[in-house]
Amino acid sequence: MGLYEEIGGAPAVNAAVDIFYRKVLRDDRIKGFFTGVDMARQAAKQKSFLTMAFGGPNAYTGLDMRKGHAHLVQRGLTDVHFDAVVENLAATLRELKVADNLIAQVAAIAESTRKDVLGR
């Protein structure tokens, strides 16, 4: 069984998305990057992101990640913000009582996108 199935698949993503997105919108370090845009689209993107981080079906490439975040890097997106997102992700999973070893795997998947997201 893969990570995605172990965490609980699509229902787990659905359970996590609101919790995660509320944490992000309340986090002074990063909320500025997430407000002022269409929230319905944002929530959909968070869902795609969580699906990917949970090891689920996705079609992301490193190039997509670079393109998708380039304008944010121009606005000052750095490691501090990246770390904050990963922190909120882990806190969300802890809130949902996901086992620590699975949380570590999710964090590792998120971590693997760092260079592309930050445009290095």
Q: Which of 7, 113, 90, 116 is nearest to 54 (CA)?
A: 7
Read off the DSSP letter of residue 57.
Answer: S
Which spans of this chain sit near other proteins (rule: CB under 8 A)? 10, 13-14, 17-18, 21-22, 25-26, 33-35, 37-45, 47-49, 51-52, 56-61, 64-65, 67-69, 71-72, 113, 117
Residue in the structure block whose two tokens are 């869902």? 47
Q: How far is the CB of 93 from other proteins (least distance, A)?
A: 17
Nearer Cβ to other proteins, position 22 or 94? 22
Helix (H) or strand (E) segment spanning residue 114 = helix 114-117
CB of 32 vs other proteins, minimal distance in Å: 9
